[in-house]
Amino acid sequence: MPHRDQEILMLRRELELFINERQTLLRVVGATAALVACLDSKHLPVGAVVSADLVATSINALSEETLQDALNAVRAEIENEEASDGK
């Protein structure tokens, strides 16, 4: 049984790593979605338009649930920044 316990512990650690990585990726996607939503493509340098389009297309390909999770992951951080800017 010790071998089985070791395997369970290893799987638990891997799962924790995946969960932490997902949270990090959700924060990145959420922040990126918020940034893209604020951009005016008419004022972007030509080279940035292609990248912005790729980002927007990738974000739009996410499921609604995943996108909502991403936005929720950064909402508190964005609101805290806005509150501290208005001191």
Domain-wise residue ranges, the chain: 2-85
Q: How far apart are CA 77 and CA 84, in angstroms?
A: 11
**Mean pLDDT score, 11-18:** 97
Judge whether residue 84 has pLDDT over 80.
no
Number of helices and strands in the chain (H, E) = 3, 0
- DSSP assignment of 18-35 equals HHHHHHHHHHHHHHHHHH
| pLDDT at 19 exceeding the cut of 80 | yes
Q: Which comes out higher in pLDDT, residue 39 or 81?
A: 39
At 29-77, the pLDDT tens digits run 999 998 888 888 889 998 898 898 899 999 999 999 999 999 999 985 6
